[in-house]
Amino acid sequence: MKIVWLCHFSNEKVQEILKPRKKIGEMASWIFSLIDLFEGLSSIELHVVSPHEYIKSDSNFELNGIYYHFFNAHIPFLGRHWPVIFKFDYWTDFFFNKTKIRKIINRINPDLIHLHGAENAYYSSSIIQFKDKYPILVTIQGFVSHGSSLNDPYIKKRIHYEKKIMERISHFGYRTLEMRNDILSFNPNAKLHWHYYPTKEIVPIKTEKKYDIVFFASLSREKGIEDLLKAIWLVKPDFHNISVCIIGAVSSTYLNFLKNLAMHYGILENIYWAGYLHFQDEVHKMASSSKISVLPTWHDIIPGTIIESMFLKLPVVAYSVGGIPEINADGEYISLVTKGDVNALAEKILYLLKNPEVLKSQSERAYIRAKEMFDNSKIPNELLTAYKEVIYDFKK
Which residues is 71 bridged to in the sheet?
A: 51
Would you say residue 185 has pLDDT above 90?
yes
pLDDT at 375: 87
Going from the C-alpha of 141 to that of each of 150, 343, 368, the distances in angstroms are 19, 31, 25
Rounded Cα distance between 63 and 234, Å, is 52
Fold match, 2-198+376-395 / 211-373? yes
Would you say residue 231 has pLDDT above 70?
yes
CB distance 67 to 47 below 8 Å: yes
pLDDT band at 301 (very low <50, low <70, confident <90, very high): confident
Percent of all residues in the chain with a pLDDT value above 70, rounded to a whole number: 99
pLDDT tens digits for 330-361?
A: 999 999 999 999 999 999 999 999 999 999 99
In CATH, what is the architecture of 211-373? Answer: 3-Layer(aba) Sandwich (3.40)
Which residues is 49 bridged to in the sheet?
A: 6, 69
Would you say residue 279 has pLDDT above 90?
no
Going from the C-alpha of 20 to that of each of 62, 133, 171, the distances in angstroms are 18, 33, 35
Rounded Cα distance between 159 and 186, Å, is 12
pLDDT at 148: 59
Q: Per-residue pLDDT averaged across 160-188, rounded? A: 95
Query: Between 147 and 31, whose confidence is greater?
Result: 31
pLDDT band at 208 (very low <50, low <70, confident <90, very high): very high
Going from the C-alpha of 171 to that of each of 1, 47, 157, 254, 393, the distances in angstroms are 18, 20, 22, 39, 9
Percent of all residues in the chain with a pLDDT value above 90, rounded to a whole number: 88
Would you say residue 278 has pLDDT above 90?
no
Please state the length of the chain. 396
CATH class of 2-198+376-395: alpha beta
Ranges of each domain in the chain:
2-198+376-395, 211-373
pLDDT band at 150 (very low <50, low <70, confident <90, very high): low
Q: Which of 111-120, 141-150, 287-296, 362-371 has the lowest mean pLDDT?
A: 141-150
Model pTM above 0.85: no
Angle, helices 304-311/280-287, rounded to nearest 10 degrees:
60
pLDDT band at 199 (very low <50, low <70, confident <90, very high): confident
CB distance 250 to 218 below 8 Å: yes
Query: Is 253 strand, coil or helix?
Result: helix
Give DSSP secondary structure letters for 292-337.
Answer: EEEE--SS-SS-HHHHHHHHTT--EEEE--TTGGGGGTTS-SSEEE
Would you say residue 38 has pLDDT above 90?
yes
pLDDT at 367: 96
CB distance 350 to 235 below 8 Å: yes
